[in-house]
A and B are shown apart, each in its own frame.
Chain A
Amino acid sequence: MGADLAGDRSLIAHLFRRAGFAARPAELDHYQAAGYDVAVADLLSGTPLMGATPSFAEATDPVLEPTYNLVGRAAPRPLLDIQTEWLTRMVSTTVPLVERMTLFLHDHFATAYVPGDIIDTQELTAQNWVFRRHALGNWKALCHAMLEDVALSAWLDNNVNVKKHPNENLARELMELFTLGVGNYTETDVREASRALTGYQIGYNLEPRGPRNTMVFNAALHDDGTKTILGSTGKFMPHDVIDIVLEQPAASRFLATKLIEYFVMPVAPSGFVDRVAETFVASDWELVPALRTIFTAPEFKATSVRGALVKSPAEFMIGAFRALNRTESDLHQTGVRWMSQAGQSLYDPPNVGGWPHNEGWLGAGQLLARYNAGSILADRHVTAFVLPGTTAAGATTVEGWGEVFGITDLSAPTVAALEGYLDEADAATPQSIAAAMITLVVASPDFLVA
């Protein structure tokens, strides 16, 4: 293996840690041969990698299952059900960037399970599918779709934002957290935008398919007066607010910054932000050109950003399940609990600002949950463990175990730790060694970071 190729392998592993949930050795082999640009193109295509057949999970949209959505006929499912369902989808996905972007969008438009406030599992599933459909689509179209989203509307009170009693919650978070950022609008803009956003109510969806609730615009509850929002004046309707906000120069830089800090590095450099922001302007808000710019940028390829982000519990858990090909749904249900102990309960972010990032995941109880998830998962895996050459994921060297988990270059202290274990392990069996290697790689700083 030449030095250049070895370098590519490491870079491809980096790409898959960020744009997916870590590469498996077969994916590393395939894209090392095909080249980095092919890997980027395949991930951005949103079609199954390496010609894989999509699992049934990817083909099924539970929102559109008619038996599930008939008004008043199906009791809402427990939260754990839909958490497990999404985890399974992410573990088995053949389009990892679609799921990574869906996860990003869930964190961005962070909406939490509050069944007492209409936000039940049906509404959250419907919202999840809005994210998935737009994951590699158009940001402006997604923002328009979010205005019609029941869960977000209930979460930010736009369902009770009426002419007589305007509620500023959605207008404020739309500008502060979703599109512009603090400092790029005034309190007057919030008030005026909230007037333009008035008029939506939540109504039952009488169609046999689709979610049980839907947003209904009632002109009688809409403030049809003249508003001035961010310098524009007119008798604006709700969807006009999205267009006005996204015309602001700050909007493209805001989203570019969030994407760079999610996919590349903790603090986005200004020049990099400019380049990504320009793609939004040039393409009228298409996401794929922006993501291509990110994943092909020198800043992304630099070795200095590798390992610079702490994996969220979702990335961690999904990465471990994928590496070991553990697709059992009972295990995924346990995985939801492990993730929760590690600080991330899907569909239940702590507030509209989303989850913490990086250092925010390093609490003692959270790390212990990750460690224990790894050791229990390892035990589960080795009960099926047989020597390489069969379908169970495994390896015969310390470095090989790193590759199982998408790490092409384990750090020297981690290699030393694993070798230290091997030096000392008495009466070891292939199973006990495999269990220890899985436990320790999963617990290592190398796997904790992306």
Chain B
Amino acid sequence: MPELRRDTIIGRWVIIAKERGKRPYDFVIEKDKTKGGFCPLCPGNEHTTPPEILAYGRPDYSPNGPGWTLRVVPNKFPALVIEGNLDKRGEGIYDKMNGIGAHEVIIDTPRHDETIPTMSHGQLIQTFWAYRDRMVDLAQDSRFRYIIIFKNFGRAAGASLEHSHSQLIALPIVPHRIQEEIQSSLHYYEFKERCIFCDIIRQEKSQDIRIVCENNDFITICPFAPRSPFEMWLMPKRHQSSYITIDDNQFHSLTDLFLETMRRLDKALPEVPYNYMLHTAPVRSPFLEHYHWHIEIMPKLTMVAGFEWGTGFYINPTPPEESAQFLREINLD
């Protein structure tokens, strides 16, 4: 019989197929055809992007030319604009404000064909540094309340360019999805005086059935009520609410565990399209006892359709215990 499971943080329900979960080879993954041709993110085409905000790796100061190992540029045609005031106002019962925000693209690597599982530690750590550096810089802007970082990989997950990149959007509001997580975590904290994410890590360690991999500082689990087969959460083991406070040692551990996580996923489901999202505390309240930053990794294996939109439920054909076991038992040698 299928099982209804409730996400312990925000209370979202999912339907999990219990009899026989879908194995990785049961999913048909349509691989994107390599398009080649002109790529605005490749070295040599820097003139096609807006002037860069940040770059690592150039031996000399020559912005907007090649020689970089990571580059951050504003979105060429942004949905939200950086200049102007919010001008919050009402129209009867409806609230609105000017579309102020920042939309940036982090070009993870100069190599067009490199993906996260094929990256070196030295390359990927720069992506994590860039996330922090851009967050710290944008947090100084008093108009911004939240900074979300995400990556789309593969056409089915929303990526239109093959060249590996992540995106950052700074918003003048805290998105509802994040508010929900923070409010629910606060509710739990008020009852138990403990962070719910820390408690999840403790329980997962003791049950040991949904852990994918771990090291001294971080852990990757398949959550108890996942929206998608092979959904994973990567979390710091010690309590930490904001990504901007991670230290140098943690950067190395994070890179190691993230690489291992993504290599396991890639070996189980080669070139599967996915999204990952970095959830962290809001800009104006980075230090929260009740909240814990984390990365949610969502392989794109199922369709979100009428039932999901209509109810907020998700149907997941693979129990997380089976997903975790598959991923854990993969030999990466």
Asked if chains A and B come from one complex, the reply is no
